[in-house]
Amino acid sequence: RIQPNIDPKLQEISKKIDGMNEEAQNLRRKMADNAKCEVKLESNSEFGFFLRVTLKSEGSLRSVNGIRVIDSTKGGGVRFSTSKLDQLNTQYLELLSSYESSQQELTKIVISTCAGYIPGLKLFDDCIGVLDVLTAFSIVTATSATPYVRPKILEKGTGVLDLRKCRHPTVERLPNMHYIPNDVQLGQNNDGQNSASFMILTGANMGGKSTYLKAAALTIFLGQIGCFVPCEMASFSIVDGIFTRVGAGDFQFKGISTFMAEMMDCATILERATPNSLILIDELGRGTSTYDGFGLAWAISEDIICRLNCFTLFATHFHEISKLEKRYPEKVKNCRMDTFVEDGKLVILFQVMQGVAQKSFGLSIAQIVGFSKEILDDAENILIELEGKCMTENSEG
């Protein structure tokens, strides 16, 4: 209900309603005196004013003349009225209707007036949104325990991606996190030296491959929208898009399997990416058989290398894909996440190094999560058998 003090007409009607409220209270007090019990005055849009007593006090009403019982319930007591209250209600309900009509007219005027300010309010909303983003950028930059720097952004097509000691902006803020930064260098670096545009990244499970890919993409994204970036130094050419095939998941309600989702993502990448794009591919082909997965991963990689030749970070457990470096030495380079085994335990250093990882250390990860010795021994024997068979087939070929 609109407050009456904003409109003279509403004020006038409100005063009359208040006067009727007072008259109704006087009738209530007289009824309470006559019935010698507590009587309450209530109102609603259906009956207007009415009186109420408890069921226990119902007998007291029998000695009072001119009472009209509306209803009686166990929980609500007895609701009733009188001829004088009925007369008052006729005027009261008319006033309520008049107040509602005047209120609706006033509401239309207010809405119409406010509508004229919508363009200005939208502009104000946009300004607040931009200010909020810029404030967030400045807070992140100023409060980070490790420095953010202003990136050097180059013209599109100049072929430079050089991030020194790049970090993932959210992972590094996790509690008890000692983040290991890494360089990301594709195309030309900041010193003018040429480097491959396609990086094949191998390494142990949980070695940091996915985080490395995401850190690079987030750095490029933040830089291109005007934020300082989590690096020691950053210089890169503008990219026209960041295309990703990262993570594993299906869409059951659409009948799309994990492998189908991978293929749909890759098809989109190959269709829409340009030589000025950034592509991230993480463990392509794991949703199908090993040979099918490897074949597709190789073919998709080769198409990106030969046709697009854009910045690409390709993380994989198919170590054989690293042979692409020999086939395209100027366009492809192999990197690995550094690890070593000490006293039979896997030590992950989260540091990107040149070269190819010798193995994925899947059994070491299984040992860390608590698989039994029997299962681990059995898996190791099968692994040795399969690796020996592959070596024999390769030597015969």
Confidence grade of residue 291 (pLDDT, cut at 50, 70, 90): confident
262-276 per-residue burial string, b: 16 or more CB within 10 A, e: under 16: bbebbeebeeebeeb
Could you give the 3-state DSSP secondary structure of residue 53? strand
Nearest to 172 by CA among 352, 350, 346, 335: 350
Contacts of 104 (CB under 8 A, 6+ apart): none
- What Rg, from alpha-carbon coordinates, does the chain have? 38
Greatest pairwise CA separation for the chain in angstroms: 117
Cα(194)–Cα(370) distance, rounded to whole angstroms?
Answer: 45
Q: Domain 154-360 belongs to what topology?
A: Rossmann fold (3.40.50)
- Token readout for 306 is 């030969």
Lowest average pLDDT, out of 60-69, 171-180, 216-225, goes to 60-69
Q: What percent of the chain has pLDDT over 70?
A: 94
Cα–chain-centroid distance for residue 331?
Answer: 36
Which of 317, 387, 326 minimizes the C-alpha distance to 357?
317
Q: What sections of the chain are H helices per DSSP?
A: 8-35, 83-115, 118-143, 209-224, 258-272, 290-303, 324-327, 362-368, 373-396
CA dist., res. 207 & res. 249, Å (int): 21
Q: What is the CATH number of domain 4-115?
A: 1.10.1420.10
Distances (CA, A) of 91 to 71, 87, 98, 229: 23, 7, 10, 72
Which DSSP helix (H) or strand (E) runs through 336? Answer: strand 332-342
Instruction: Count Cβ atoms below 10 Å from residue 237 Cβ, excluding itself.
Output: 21
Question: How much helix, strand and coil, in percent to the nearest 5, is found in the chain?
Answer: 50, 25, 30
Give the pLDDT confidence of 11-40 residue by residue, as tens digits.
Answer: 999 999 899 889 999 988 988 888 888 889
> Residue 192: left (phi > 0), alpha (psi -120 to 50), or beta?
left
Pick from 6-15, 115-124, 360-369, 374-383: least confident: 360-369
> HEC profile for 68-110?
EEEEEECCCEEEEEEHHHHHHHHHHHHHHHHHHHHHHHHHHHH
Whether this prediction's pTM lies above 0.75 is answered by no
User: Which residue, among 81, 210, 55, 239, has the nearest Cα to 151 in the 3D structure?
Assistant: 239
Task: List the single range of 220-234, 271-285, 333-347 with lowest mean pLDDT.
Answer: 333-347
Could you tell me the pLDDT band of residue 390, with boundaries at 50, 70 and 90? low
Identify whether the C-beta of residue 333 lies closer than 8 Å to the C-beta of residue 196.
yes
Summarised one tens digit per residue, pLDDT across range 166-206 is 999 999 999 999 999 999 999 987 666 778 999 999 998 88
Q: Tell me how far apart the alpha carbons of residues 309 and 134 are, in angstroms, rounded to a whole number.
A: 34
- Amino acid identity of 274? T
| Boundaries of every domain in the chain | 4-115, 154-360, 361-392
Structure tokens at 126: 């946009």
Residue 370's pLDDT band (cuts 50, 70, 90): confident
Average pLDDT over residues 159-166: 96
